[in-house]
């Protein structure tokens, strides 16, 4: 298969989920073998950082990459997932602030803009990355596992378990027979109601609002708490649906939360530096273990050269 890039430049603007800072991000065409690179145009035209596992500098509720000379970009995972799911090998991404905007909490805005006619082939073959042996990363404290095994074609399986009576245990699957844009890319991030106030107090989710996250109400909530949340987000009165979710959004799938974790996993694993031909199985995955797995695969591949 040929390598691919975007046909033209596509721009997106909005608040960063964690910083609350407004940023404009532009996905530009790039030549063969360029990979994915971010440029902080607010710093300098040469302030670049490659989207590679060794550049991961933080995984505190999102994935941040930082170059050797200190150029950082936060919350790259949804955009990286979109580029992966749409089959884009090469792109120059310009951003005029530190954090990629959260938009609707999924990869859908990127897909809607680029998918129809925005991808072109390049005069170079895609080099699929294949591993000679399985890679498994475990976290005994959290029970998280990411296992990556050799395969003839890519597939992803995710299982989430937050010990939640609302979510239950959810699973999600993707392989090339399923349309990423319809099955995975549209799935939004999620948060538990009881976490929101803590996150605000700790200077996280400054850009969060009820349009870009599924809110799970695990514990009993008073009318006063709901009123406070409504004031916090400056929206009309919020209510709890019968299924235990806040009424701010309607679920796109019963297992949308598991599908979003798969979206994140695909974005984080793209930090291996290309498209993997592997079978990925993940339990209780998150940005930390995802990027550790990407780093382990990348080291395995580099050591083979």
The residues annotated with a catalytic role in the active site are: 287
Tokens at 66, concatenated: 């930082």
What is the Cα–Cα distance from 271 to 297, expressed in whole angstroms? Answer: 10
**C-alpha dihedral sign at 238, 241, 244, 246:** negative
Q: Which residues of 119-128 are buried (b: 16+ CB within 10 A; e: fewer)?
A: eeebeeebee
Which residues, 6 or more positions from 51, have their beta carbon under 8 angstroms from its beta carbon?
A: 35, 36, 37, 38, 65, 76, 80, 270, 271
| Distance (Å, whole) CA 207 – CA 293 | 29
CA distance 148 to 145: 10
Neighbour-count burial of 138, counting CB atoms closer than 10 A to its CB (0-12 exposed, 13-18 middle, 19+ buried): middle
181 Rama class: left (phi>0) / alpha (psi -120 to 50) / beta: alpha
Measured at the alpha carbon of residue 41, what is the angle toward residues 40 and 46, in degrees to the nearest 5? 75
């Amino acid at each position: 298969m040929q390598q691919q890039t975007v046909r033209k430049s596509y721009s997106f603007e909005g608040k960063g989920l964690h910083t609350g800072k407004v940023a404009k991000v532009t996905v530009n065409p790039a030549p063969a073998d360029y990979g994915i690179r971010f440029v902080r145009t607010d710093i300098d035209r040469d302030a670049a950082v490659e989207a590679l596992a060794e550049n991961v500098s933080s995984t505190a509720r999102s994935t941040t990459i930082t170059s050797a000379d200190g150029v950082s970009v936060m919350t790259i995972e949804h955009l990286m997932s979109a580029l992966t799911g749409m089959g884009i090998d090469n792109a120059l991404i310009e951003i005029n602030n530190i954090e990629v905007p959260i938009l609707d909490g999924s990869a859908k805005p990127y897909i809607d803009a680029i998918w129809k006619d925005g991808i072109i082939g390049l005069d170079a073959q895609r080099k699929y990355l294949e591993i000679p042996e399985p890679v498994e990363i475990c976290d005994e404290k959290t029970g998280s596992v990411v296992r990556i095994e050799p395969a003839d074609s890519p597939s992803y399986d995710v299982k989430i378990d937050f010990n939640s009576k609302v979510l239950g245990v959810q699973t999600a699957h993707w392989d090339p027979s399923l349309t990423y844009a319809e099955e995975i890319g549209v799935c939004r991030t999620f948060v538990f109601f009881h976490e929101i106030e803590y996150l605000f107090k700790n200077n996280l989710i400054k850009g969060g609002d009820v349009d870009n996250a599924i809110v799970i109400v695990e514990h009993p909530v008073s009318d006063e708490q709901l009123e406070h949340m409504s004031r916090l987000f400056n929206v009309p009165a919020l209510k709890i649906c019968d299924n235990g979710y806040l009424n701010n959004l309607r679920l796109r799938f019963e297992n949308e939360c598991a599908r979003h974790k798969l979206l994140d996993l695909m974005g984080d694993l793209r930090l291996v530096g290309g498209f993997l031909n592997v079978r990925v199985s993940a339990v209780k995955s998150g940005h930390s273990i995802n990027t550790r797995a990407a780093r382990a695969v990348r080291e395995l591949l580099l050591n083979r050269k």
